[in-house]
Structure 1
Amino acid sequence: MNVKATNKVETNRYELELEVSPEEFNEAINTVYKRESKKMNIPGFRKGHAPRAFIEKYYGEEVFYEAAIDHLYRPMVMEAVEKSGLQVISIGEFKIDEIGKDKGILCKLNVVTKPEATIEGYKGIEVTHPAVEVTGEDIDREIDRVRERNSRIITVEGRAAENGDIVTIDFDGYVDGKQFDGGKADNYELTLGAGQFIPGFEDQVVGHSIGDEFDVNVTFPEDYHAEELKGKPAVFKIKLHEIKVKELPTVDDEFVKDVSEFDTLDEYKKDIEKRLQEQREKAADSDVENQLVEAIIEKVQAEIPDEMVENEVDEIINSFAYRLQSQGLKLETYLKYTGQTTDDLRVQYKPQAERQVKVRLGLEKIAELEGLKPTEEETEAEYQKLADSYGMPLESVKNLVTVEGINGDIQNQKAIDLVKANAVVVEKKAEEEQAGEKKPAKKRASTKKKAEAAEGEEAAEKPKRRSSKKAESTEEKNEG
């Protein structure tokens, strides 16, 4: 196969003139003849044993042309893309101009190419570093959460119900003297003061004791979900069976020994403070990186073809479907439950795809301008990191993930690290953050730190791994 010409049609779009020699074409015809002839009945021959010349005479000379073209298409397209030297992202129209045993094939292939991006001003970007502070109240709130997890429910006797109690009741509701759907239940557990029921209901249970039978008079809100009950007065007949209360453990050294590896409350509080500090530093660094990504998106200039965005939408939906599958749910089932279609998902994810494409183009351009390339050691380390993360043998990961994809990820990470290292970070004080003020603050150059890979939908604004061999061939993806 030969690429006779590469013609630029418009920005990011080319027409490749291709030529398949008569020898190559006839070889392809012979290949498909051996396969297809087994299904053919030719008078005078046993099924599958008719010579090619007899079949072509019986059905016409072009009988195997279409199958031969199908046989040649994929390798021809891949070779054409490689020989053209273009960075093809999508395959378009394929048109045959001439075809014949003596001529071979003269054809044209339209392709869409990766856009040329430009970016300026990626050094010295000013971003705000959120305040990182852990207060005594923060530590107390964390301890309270642990107390909640370690609480126990005990039955209360000898007193009336109070806000905060968990009561077990029977209730039977009436509107206009008639029972209504959903208004009756037995042995229902209700936390008083939690606002689970209609306003005023729980307040009227407070003060009653075990065994009491009484009425609760309320009015359904005007915006109540059931049309027939909106704004209607109702009477609920109540019987109170049980009063329980959540008992929280006392915060002391014994509590600490039960819930942690520490022996004293002081040690436990210091550990909580350290963990909260680390979490908030990590969140603050992620916030800074998100600001830098936003700045890159604004600064990169490129005429991005629609096909590139649509390919990215495909990647996002495939990734979403894989996550659903890992939870035992098919995409089709999810769409049915949510009343959506695949087209709805495509519309929903298109803005995200546009941003991902743009930031990736920006980072790739920065890496090119700065000469950022991964070393063999970095590539191997990234493969090992993936193997450890997924619990797979290293060689299995290498078979699934292309080295080009791995190196692209490393290169893009180097680019974002460089942008971070050269950014001007404004430190925001805690009191300013609480007050929502924007006062001038002290500036510092950022330190270079490895960006953490985001999980789930938050990864949308960051360069995404594009290294699965299943999606390696653009031609394969767009053939249909």
Structure 2
Amino acid sequence: MQVLAKQEDSVNASVSVSISNTSIQDEVQKIATKAAKTMKMDGFRVGKVPVSAVIKRYGKELEYDAEQNLFKEAINEALKELKKESKDMIAEPFVEKLDRNDKELKADLVISFKPEVKLDDYEKLIPEYSSPKVTKKELDARKEEGLKSFAKTEPIKEQRALKEGDFAKFDFEGFIDGKAFDGGKAENFTLEIGSKQFIPGFEEAMIGLKVGEEKDISVPFPKDYGVPSLAGKEAVFKIKLHEILELVLPKLDEELLKKLLPGEENPSEEMLEERLKEQIKKEKLYKLINEELRVKFADTLIEHYDFDLPRGVVEQETDIQFRTALSTFSEDELKEIRENTQKAKEKRDSFKDEARKSVKLTFIVDELAKLRKVSVSDQEVIQAVYFEAYRYGSDPKLMLEDYRKQGILPAIKMSLLEEKLFNDIFMPKEEKKSSKKEDK
């Protein structure tokens, strides 16, 4: 076997490997001999299976294993030439070119190492921003939200038609093609008009009704409706309005303040407003960080700092982005990719620039996190997966195991690290302190 290793840049090395077919067959013989000692095969006792029988039955698999073993030996030899160790490698070596003939197997491999990232004076690149302000209108709206949780509905006093924001008490029965369907009937049902609780068009069609009036409402079920037998069907609902109610907000007295500010000895409206103001301000700040500052700072870091990227990692990220995008391709695009390998390669390579940016940012974030002593524990990753599972009604243990098998957990950890890091950079000190208190 011949191995020639050459350092391309600070983090990548090319390795040319030539393996004779004789070496491959010798390795096949060695693997088959070892397997024959423990293999079970019909017609033979355990340990008595002829090596020739093993090779005859598992020839292709044995050749693949033999080649992989020899490639590993080639990589180890290349690392010695480069004066590196296997622990220095990042990502699996990838085959750039492979040729076979009657005499030998030739391959060009690329092995990659972790880059050294120096972020001198990165603080100067942090974009400036103004602390978010809270308007009286926003504060009043948030206060009203809190009061609504303790509000009650009462019949309206004046005689008028139903309008958006009212609560309607009514009977309804739904029909498709003149026939009633299961789940389409209720009596004295209460619905907030404008809540979008019913299918689109239903609540809007009720506006203008007066108590005691009846009406037929014709609306289509959405095409993606959860019940397949109803999805996309035109339905007619016969309704009768019995009562119009309105939401009556409670008075903000001492008793209610204690419920809105639990744990406070002498709660006041001023104290509530200050608490709500802090809450709104923090929400605005999180939004500003995640939707604007984070992206702007990341783009600046990527553009400002230059270092060699490990090609193995870039190739992996390109594959991930390409596979992720497949679900967005049209049928024509997918057909072209399946039938034309050159087009498939071109399409995949079109993701390479974004992959480079993503990989570069990953190393920058990793180094920034070390500089600022920000980290994410394995327990935090598990909590994030469990939270996602609960949101979608999935089994958290199964989702965690599935993500582990797919190798998704490192990406989740990096995502959490990014969020934590950028919050650490942009969030004012007083906000950080209050966040830590809430976490406790």
TM-score normalised over the length of structure 2 = 0.54
User: Matches of residues 35-434 of structure 1 in structure 2 within 5 Å?
Assistant: 35-36=35-36, 48-49=47-48, 55=52, 66=63, 69=66, 72-73=69-70, 75-76=72-73, 79-80=76-77, 82-83=79-80, 84=82, 85=84, 89=91, 90-92=93-95, 93=97, 108-111=107-110, 113=112, 124-125=124-125, 127-154=127-154, 159-163=159-163, 164-170=165-171, 186-187=186-187, 189-192=190-193, 197=201, 201-205=205-209, 208-209=210-211, 212-215=212-215, 238-261=239-262, 262=264, 263-286=267-290, 287-299=292-304, 308-312=313-317, 353-360=355-362, 374=370, 382=375, 385-387=377-379, 390=382
Cα distance per residue 1:352-405 (max 9 Å; x no partner)? 6454223235567xx6xxxx8959x96xx847x4446747xxxxxxxx9xxxx9
Amino acid at match of 2:133: E
Judging changes above 3 Å, is the alpha-carbon distance between structure 1 residues 67 and 271 closer, same or farther for their aligned structure 2 residues? Answer: closer
C-alpha separation between the residues in 2 aligned to 1:172 and 1:447? 56
Cα distance per residue 1:266-318 (max 9 Å; x no partner)? 22222222333344445445543331102223345678798644522666799
Which residues of structure 1 form unaligned runs of 5+?
100-104, 321-333, 336-340, 392-399, 422-445, 452-480
Task: Give 1:33 shift.
Answer: 0.7
Judging changes above 3 Å, is the alpha-carbon distance between structure 1 residues 386 and 363 closer, same or farther for their aligned structure 2 residues? Answer: closer
Judging changes above 3 Å, is the alpha-carbon distance between structure 1 residues 76 and 40 closer, same or farther for their aligned structure 2 residues? Answer: same
Amino acid at match of 1:277: K
C-alpha separation between the residues in 2 aligned to 1:449 and 1:74? 56
Which residues of structure 2 form unaligned runs of 5+?
225-230, 329-333, 338-346, 384-403, 405-409, 433-440
Deviation larger for 287-296 or 306-315: 306-315
Judging changes above 3 Å, is the alpha-carbon distance between structure 1 residues 75 and 138 closer, same or farther for their aligned structure 2 residues? Answer: same
Calculate percent identity across the aligned residue pairs.
Answer: 15
Aligned residue in 1 for 2:33: 33
C-alpha separation between the residues in 1 aligned to 2:370 and 2:126? 27
TM-score normalised over the length of structure 1 = 0.50
**1:4 has 2:9 as partner:** no
Judging changes above 3 Å, is the alpha-carbon distance between structure 1 residues 137 and 448 closer, same or farther for their aligned structure 2 residues? Answer: closer
Task: Give 1:68 shift.
Answer: 6.2
C-alpha separation between the residues in 1 aligned to 2:17 and 2:201? 73
The structure with higher relative contact order (CA 8 Å, sep 6+) is 1
CA contact (8 A) 2:39 2:49 kept: no
CA contact (8 A) 1:129 1:285 kept: no
Judging changes above 3 Å, is the alpha-carbon distance between structure 1 residues 360 and 23 closer, same or farther for their aligned structure 2 residues? Answer: same
SS at structure 1 position matched to 2:252: coil
CA contact (8 A) 2:27 2:66 kept: no
SS at structure 2 position matched to 1:129: coil
Superposed CA RMSD: 6.3
CA contact (8 A) 2:132 2:284 kept: yes
